A = this chain, B = another copy of it.
């Protein structure tokens, strides 16, 4: 904790800050400059809010110098984490493609899509069974029956399964059918859910909230890691900005930023990141070019009649085309698809 005092701060004000730092367990180092006195507090970890000091009299500003996350930081595991599930490695040399429909709709649908994306080189099938929808009047998913269909289609086609867990009560059923449990953007700070997922023995795919900073994403990962589950995959899927020509603004730069700050693998979801099918290919290519460890892409055999998110789902032949482009791009960053 670095506390910078205002010019002309009184000695009694400085002393109060020192006393408070000491009371919190910090060892304080005082440094007096020409204009400002700076107090450096070295000490207890944890989440001391800098605003606690900024509202004290005579204080100009306060900075936290220890990252609020530890287990998620790059320095904890400089070589990087590879999440290995059977023969699939996320965070390794190969860019891992996860593809499938927004919602599982029927046995036929999911089988058709699974076969197609497996043939093109995807390693994981995605599909929602419990759908969080912003309107109470929309399709809410097939539930466990949908998960069963998803699992069977995956097994027939040699794929892994990723599917979303909406709250902690759903963990058991998801853990039964899925290989990777996805936490949606709206749940990124559902701390009760995160805490429970720390106890689970399955990898977690944690999506960035639309208004979450990268630091907050890593702090949410820390919740899971601190519970003992070290297999966390991060996912960039667009943030909310003033620009409205796309549904969200995909923050491609978050990919290299995460790579510097953390050892965890990061994938990108260009479908939610753009909301429109015609923007998915360019953004998928951009994510891989920027260093993403994988992609999560919505694909549907008949998007015009999809029960949810049809507008952002690729047609099957668009996915084929995407894979061809990615095979070239991956080489530029020393990888394969």
Contacts and interface: CB of A to CB of B under 8 A. Distances in A.
Interface in A102-156: 132-138
A253 interface: yes
Interface stretch (A38-46, A83-91, A173-181, A293-301): A38-46
Interface residues of A: mostly helix, strand, loop or mixed? mixed
Nearest to A186: B189
A121 to B, nearest CB: 15
B133 A278 contact: no
Interface string A233-254: 0000001111111110111111
A328 interface: yes
Contact of A282 (B61, B168, B283, B290): B290
Counting every copy of the chain, the complex holds 4
A310 B7 contact: no
A219 B135 contact: yes
Nearest to A280: B256
A289 B285 contact: yes
A336 interface: no
A196 to B, nearest CB: 10
Interface stretch (A27-35, A92-100, A199-207): A27-35
A278 B325 CA distance: 25
A333 B276 CA distance: 19
Contacts of A287: 286
A55 interface: yes
A63 B63 contact: yes
A49 B311 contact: yes
A7 B67 CA distance: 11
A325 B21 CA distance: 35
B134 A289 contact: no
A10 interface: no
Given A8-B75, A52-B311, 17 more contacts: A2-B63, A46-B135, A47-B134, A55-B277, A132-B192, A133-B191, A166-B192, A167-B193, A213-B244, A245-B253, A249-B249, A249-B253, A253-B273, A283-B290, A285-B289, A285-B333, A286-B287
30 contacts: A6-B75, A29-B31, A36-B65, A36-B66, A38-B40, A47-B134, A47-B138, A51-B275, A51-B312, A54-B311, A55-B276, A132-B191, A132-B192, A136-B194, A136-B222, A136-B223, A167-B168, A186-B190, A187-B190, A209-B211, A211-B211, A214-B243, A241-B249, A243-B254, A245-B254, A252-B283, A286-B286, A326-B332, A328-B328, A328-B331
